[in-house]
Every structure is written in structure tokens, then in C-alpha cells.
């Protein structure tokens, strides 16, 4: 317990508090709000804050608009193409948003496929990818599945008798949806939206790739990396980010609480078969969604095989050289990713299981603190955690390492472990909740000691949940950019996400970057597939937290 608390405090709480303290103190160490006043006085920061809120809100609104009808169709109807629709809904999840940004540039950008065609036919262009529009477009395409999965879960959690009762009372059709279904699913829907909002403001890669800097996350990044570690404004931006995330997280938890109480599952929800015109409409919708969500994948695949691709509809020359580059000339990106993320996932599983066990099975004081700190990373943007680490671990030799933690690749493992810890804690907690204490007590009364009971009864029963939690950690760490980009000590220690970022900086490296992107997509697909295998139809739950 004390050991776990110490780890969590050292690597989560303390770095955050350091950031907070720097933002709230003056040179002499007194508490002050002057830095925040300065923040709000500067038009640049006010604009960044406004842009962050607006883009987050737009992403959530657009995602919601796409998701609501799709979720209703998935949850309530039965048709053969449903599996296609469900696949389409998970495709965007496997492509990291900053990779998607590059791909969409090629297709929708100023000299991308679509605008070249528009130019040829109508002598006009549409600035899809310019400025904030581009960020919102890329993020919506990437994040709508989170809201969709969440909405499907909310919908299918509604007890069917709630709707049947209303039908029995004379209510049906859209009126039934408005009076019963919508209000019952709304808490879950809002919670999902808030969690998505947190992810959008956390996303550093997309704005960087699209070269749009006037959002909070890139501002914090640029301040620290260009102005320097001692620039107070960077820390203030970080604190503002944390406050936004924290408020959203707390609100999301409140709504999730409401959602849970409203849904007592009795039996499988009733699904109806689709026929005729309706079926055709749904087919068209599926096709459209599938097409649009596949755009980034197609773009990145083409780019990875292209030798030359600029100002033309499709690449003009193809090559396998990009894959040769990343597999043979610079294989460290892939090796590093596997090393870091698997280590982090393993650590997460151990820490998550231990924390969940203490939370559910012990009566030790400090459990609530443990829970709170272990949940905190959900509300800590990657940039902020990285800034905290740089501040705390820079400039002194870490015991047992002989060098500062920030100059070793270990810092990346630590960052990934801590950022994804909430997933394994939640997964283990949920799994452990399913294990009735009586099962353990029976083993103990039959002569097994605590350790044996855990090893022989508890662990086998929760192992599915543990592995699933670890897989989600692995998948999300594979494509983590926000803290990676700040914490990578040397270029040869960087993982895939860092490699993509570096390659994409130069026009000649784009092909290799895309090839790395394809590898990232494959890794994430594999992880997602395994998660689905373990979670089964409840995969949506994994993204609910």
C-alpha cells in the first residue's frame, strides 16, 4: 500500500503539483495569481483558450450528430451489413490522429486529391484542411467512434421493458424515442462526449501536423520547447488544460453515475429486422461512413508505397523503399515502441491489479487517495505530464540509473505506464467486482492462505479483465505522441510515433513516415482485435472508464 502510494505520488501527483506550484508562485516563492491574470490579458492565450473550447465542442457536436443515428441503427436493428458498419466504426480508432492528419492532407488538403479534381472540373478549391477547420475535421473523423461506441452501450443498456411499457401506454415511434429512449440514454451520451472532449484538448499531434499552433496544447509545447523550461506561461497553459480536463472528468463521472442507476439490464434488447427502403437507406449510410472513415487509411497506404507524390491525384512512382528504410535502415523506431509499450502494459497490469485489489478487498486508510491519484491521469494531458517530468527529473541522477531519468528511455516507459494506468485499474476493478468474496472465502476456509487464494482463485478469474486492460494500454501507448515528443531524450531512442513526426517534417521523409504509420495501424489493429476477442460484445465498455 505505502509502496504503491509512493510510486503514484512520485510519478503522478508530485510532477503535477510542481507544475501547479510554478504557475501559482512568484520568484520569491509566494502564492500569486499574477501569472493567470497575465494569461487572460494576452490576446494570444485568450484566443488559444477560445479555440480549444470551440474546437473541442465542435468535434463533440459533429461526432454526436454522426453517432446518434448510427448508434440507434446498430443497437436496434438487425441486418446483414451490420458487421460492416461496426467495423467502419472501429477503423478510425486504429489510425493515430496525427497520421490521419497527414493522410487527409493528401486527399483533402490544398493540393490534395479532391481539390485537384475540383480545380480541374470547376476551377475552385475548398479549404477543408486550413486552420481550425482541418483540426476539427481530423479530430471528428478520429474521435466519433468513441462517442458512437459509448452511445451504443448507453442504448443497449436501456432495459427493454422501459420502452415496452411506454408502448403499452400508447406511445410509439419518434415520440417514444423523445420521451423515453433519449432521456434514458442521455447521461451515458453526455459522459461519453465529455471524455471525448478531454481527448481532443489533449491531442497535440493533429495541430502540430497541420501546423496550426493556436490551441492550448501546442502553446504549452511550444512555450516549453522553444522559450525554455523556466517560462512560466507554459506552466500556466498546462494548469488551464488540467482544469478543463478535470472539470470534464468530474462531470463525466457524475453523468455516468446517473446512467448506471437508470439501467438495470434484464434481457437482451429487442432488435428488429430491416426491410425495403429503410434497408437501402441504411446500406447507403454504411457505405458513406465506411468510405469516409477509410479515407485516411487509403491515403497513408498509398503514401507508404509512393516514391513521388506531389500535386498529382495519385503517386506517380511506387516503391518498397519506404518499408526498407524503416525495417532495415532505421528499425529502432519499431523495436523501441514494442519495448516501451509492452513494458508499460506489463507494469500497468501489475499495478492495476494491486490497486484494484486494495480498493476492493482491503479496509486500509488511504484507499480513496490511491483511487483518486490512480484516476487522475485521465485528466492530465500528455503535454502536462511531460512538462512535470522534465521539471522534476531533469538535472539529477536517478538512483540506480547513474543519469537523470529524463536522459534515459525509461522515462518514456514511466510516462506510458502512468498515463494508461487508469485503464488497467478500471478493468481489474470491474473484473474483481465480478468475483464474489465468497469464492475467496471458500478457498480460505478449505485451507488456502491469502497468497494461494489469490493465485488459485482470484487471479484466474480476473485475468481476462487484466489482459484486456493491458491491451488497451498497449494500443493507446503505441500511438502516443503528446508526451513522447517532449520526453524522447535522443532521436534513436524514439518510438514509432516520434519517428513518424520526425519523418513527416521533410517532404522526402513522408514516405517512410507513412510506412511507419502503416506499422502503427497494424499494431493497433492487432491490439484492438485481441481486446474485442476478450471483451467480446462489450468492447464498448472498455472506452467508458
Is 154 within 8 Å of 185 (Cβ atoms)?
Answer: yes
Bridge partners for 273 per DSSP = 78
The 8-class DSSP code of residue 270 comes to P
Binding of residue 174 to other proteins (CB under 8 A): no
Beta strands in 310-402 (DSSP E): 317-318, 397-398
Footprint of other proteins on 75-134 (CB under 8 A): none
Residue in 193, 86, 201, 88 with CA at minimum distance from that of residue 139: 201
Q: Which stretch binds other proteins (CB under 8 A): 163-171, 326-334, 363-371, 417-425?
A: 163-171
Q: Which stretch binds other proteins (CB under 8 A): 155-163, 219-227, 427-435, 514-522?
A: 155-163
Query: Which DSSP string do the residues of 485-519 spell out, in sequence order?
Result: HHH--SGGG--HHHHHHHHHTSGGGHHHHHHHHHH
Nearer to other proteins, 170 or 507 (CB): 170
Footprint of other proteins on 3-32 (CB under 8 A): none
In the complex, the smallest distance separating the C-beta of residue 164 from other proteins, rounded to whole angstroms, is 6
Task: Using CB under 8 A, pick the residue from 38, 87, 111, 161 that binds other proteins.
Answer: 161
Q: CA gyration radius for the chain?
A: 24
In the complex, the smallest distance separating the C-beta of residue 188 from other proteins, rounded to whole angstroms, is 12
Binding of residue 34 to other proteins (CB under 8 A): no
Residues contacting residue 483 through CB under 8 Å, at least 6 positions apart? 382, 383, 385, 386, 389, 415, 419
Task: Using CB under 8 A, pick the residue from 73, 184, 516, 521 that binds other proteins.
Answer: 184
In the complex, the smallest distance separating the C-beta of residue 29 from other proteins, rounded to whole angstroms, is 50
d(CA 21, CA 149): 38
The pattern of x and - marking residues 40 through 79 that bind other proteins according to CB under 8 A reads ----------------------------------------
In the complex, the smallest distance separating the C-beta of residue 172 from other proteins, rounded to whole angstroms, is 5
In the complex, the smallest distance separating the C-beta of residue 322 from other proteins, rounded to whole angstroms, is 52
C-alpha cell at 126: 475548398
Nearer to other proteins, 171 or 342 (CB): 171
C-alpha cell at 374: 490512480
d(CA 428, CA 295): 36
Is 458 within 8 Å of 472 (Cβ atoms)?
Answer: no
Nearer to other proteins, 166 or 459 (CB): 166
Is 486 within 8 Å of 394 (Cβ atoms)?
Answer: no
Give me the phi and psi of 204, to 5 degrees please.
-95, -35
In the complex, the smallest distance separating the C-beta of residue 190 from other proteins, rounded to whole angstroms, is 13
In the complex, the smallest distance separating the C-beta of residue 351 from other proteins, rounded to whole angstroms, is 35
Task: Using CB under 8 A, pick the residue from 91, 180, 190, 468 that binds other proteins.
Answer: 180
The pattern of x and - marking residues 256 through 295 that bind other proteins according to CB under 8 A reads -----xx-x-x---x-------------------------
Footprint of other proteins on 189-218 (CB under 8 A): none
Give me the phi and psi of 77, to 5 degrees please.
-120, 155
Binding of residue 164 to other proteins (CB under 8 A): yes
Is 534 within 8 Å of 471 (Cβ atoms)?
Answer: yes
Nearer to other proteins, 153 or 466 (CB): 153
Residues contacting residue 276 through CB under 8 Å, at least 6 positions apart? none
Residue in 250, 226, 461 with CA at minimum distance from that of residue 356: 461
Binding of residue 236 to other proteins (CB under 8 A): no
The 8-class DSSP code of residue 538 comes to G
Binding of residue 159 to other proteins (CB under 8 A): yes
Q: Between 43-76 and 182-202, two packed helices, what is the crossing angle to 10 degrees? A: 140
C-alpha cell at 270: 429487442
Task: Using CB under 8 A, pick the residue from 38, 87, 167, 310 that binds other proteins.
Answer: 167
In the complex, the smallest distance separating the C-beta of residue 163 from other proteins, rounded to whole angstroms, is 9
Size of the site for other proteins (CB under 8 A): 21
Binding of residue 172 to other proteins (CB under 8 A): yes
Task: Using CB under 8 A, pick the residue from 168, 226, 368, 445 that binds other proteins.
Answer: 168
Interface residue list for other proteins (CB under 8 A):
159, 161-162, 164-172, 179-180, 183-184, 261-262, 264, 266, 270
Amino acid at each position: 500500500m505505502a509502496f504503491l502510494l509512493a510510486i503514484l505520488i512520485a510519478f503522478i501527483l508530485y510532477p503535477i503539483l510542481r507544475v501547479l506550484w510554478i504557475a501559482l508562485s512568484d520568484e520569491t516563492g509566494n502564492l500569486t495569481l499574477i501569472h493567470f491574470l497575465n494569461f487572460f490579458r494576452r490576446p494570444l492565450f485568450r484566443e488559444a483558450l477560445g479555440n480549444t473550447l470551440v474546437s473541442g465542442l465542435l468535434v463533440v457536436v459533429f461526432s454526436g450528430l454522426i453517432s446518434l443515428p448510427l448508434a440507434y441503427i446498430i443497437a436496434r436493428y438487425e441486418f446483414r451489413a451490420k458487421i460492416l458498419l461496426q467495423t467502419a466504426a472501429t477503423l478510425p480508432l486504429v489510425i493515430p490522429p496525427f497520421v490521419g492528419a497527414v493522410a487527409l492532407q493528401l486527399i483533402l488538403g490544398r493540393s490534395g486529391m479532391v481539390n485537384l479534381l475540383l480545380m480541374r472540373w470547376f476551377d475552385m478549391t475548398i479549404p477543408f484542411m486550413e486552420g481550425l477547420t482541418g483540426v476539427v475535421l481530423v479530430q471528428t473523423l478520429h474521435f466519433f467512434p468513441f462517442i458512437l461506441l459509448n452511445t451504443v452501450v448507453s442504448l443497449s443498456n436501456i432495459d427493454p421493458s422501459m420502452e415496452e411499457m411506454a408502448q403499452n401506454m400508447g406511445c410509439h415511434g419518434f415520440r417514444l424515442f423523445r420521451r423515453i429512449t433519449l432521456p434514458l440514454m442521455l447521461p451515458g451520451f453526455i459522459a461519453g462526449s465529455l471524455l471525448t472532449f478531454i481527448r481532443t484538448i489533449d491531442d497535440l499531434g493533429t495541430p502540430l501536423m497541420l501546423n496550426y499552433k493556436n490551441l492550448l496544447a501546442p502553446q504549452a509545447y511550444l512555450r516549453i520547447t522553444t522559450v525554455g523550461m523556466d517560462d512560466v506561461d507554459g506552466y500556466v497553459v498546462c494548469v488551464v488544460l488540467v482544469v478543463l480536463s478535470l472539470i470534464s472528468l468530474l462531470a463525466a463521472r457524475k453523468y455516468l453515475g446517473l446512467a448506471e442507476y437508470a439501467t438495470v439490464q434484464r434481457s437482451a434488447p429487442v432488435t428488429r429486422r430491416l426491410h425495403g427502403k429503410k434497408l437501402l437507406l441504411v446500406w447507403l449510410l454504411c457505405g458513406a461512413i465506411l468510405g469516409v472513415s477509410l479515407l485516411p487509411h487509403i491515403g497513408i497506404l498509398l503514401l507508404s508505397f509512393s516514391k513521388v507524390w506531389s500535386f498529382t491525384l495519385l503517386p506517380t512512382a511506387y516503391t518498397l523503399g519506404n518499408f526498407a528504410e524503416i525495417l532495415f535502415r532505421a528499425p529502432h523506431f519499431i523495436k523501441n515502441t514494442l519495448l516501451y509499450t509492452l513494458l508499460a502494459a506489463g507494469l500497468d497490469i501489475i499495478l492495476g491489479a494491486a490497486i484494484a485489489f486494495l480498493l476492493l478487498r482491503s479496509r486500509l486508510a488511504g484507499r480513496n487517495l490511491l483511487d483518486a491519484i490512480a484516476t487522475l491521469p485521465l485528466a492530465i494531458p500528455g503535454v502536462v505530464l511531460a512538462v512535470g517530468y522534465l521539471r522534476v527529473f531533469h538535472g539529477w541522477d536517478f538512483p540506480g540509473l547513474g543519469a537523470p531519468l529524463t536522459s534515459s528511455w525509461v522515462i518514456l516507459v514511466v510516462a506510458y505506464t502512468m498515463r494508461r494506468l487508469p485503464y488497467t485499474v478500471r478493468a481489474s476493478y470491474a473484473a474483481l467486482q465480478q468475483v464474489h468474496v465468497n469464492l475467496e472465502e471458500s478457498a480460505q476456509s478449505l485451507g488456502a492462505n491469502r497468497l494461494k487464494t489469490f493465485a488459485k482463485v482470484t487471479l484466474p478469474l480476473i485475468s481476462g479483465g487484466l489482459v484486456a486492460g493491458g491491451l488497451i494500454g498497449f494500443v493507446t501507448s503505441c500511438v502516443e505522441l503528446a508526451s513522447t515528443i517532449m520526453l524522447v531524450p535522443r532521436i534513436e531512442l524514439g518510438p514509432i510515433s516520434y519517428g513518424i513526426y520526425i519523418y513527416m517534417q521533410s517532404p522526402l521523409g513522408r514516405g517512410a513516415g507513412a510506412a511507419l504509420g502503416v506499422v502503427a495501424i497494424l499494431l493497433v489493429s492487432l491490439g484492438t482485435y485481441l481486446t474485442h476477442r476478450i471483451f467480446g460484445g462489450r468492447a464498448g465498455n472498455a472506452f467508458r472508464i
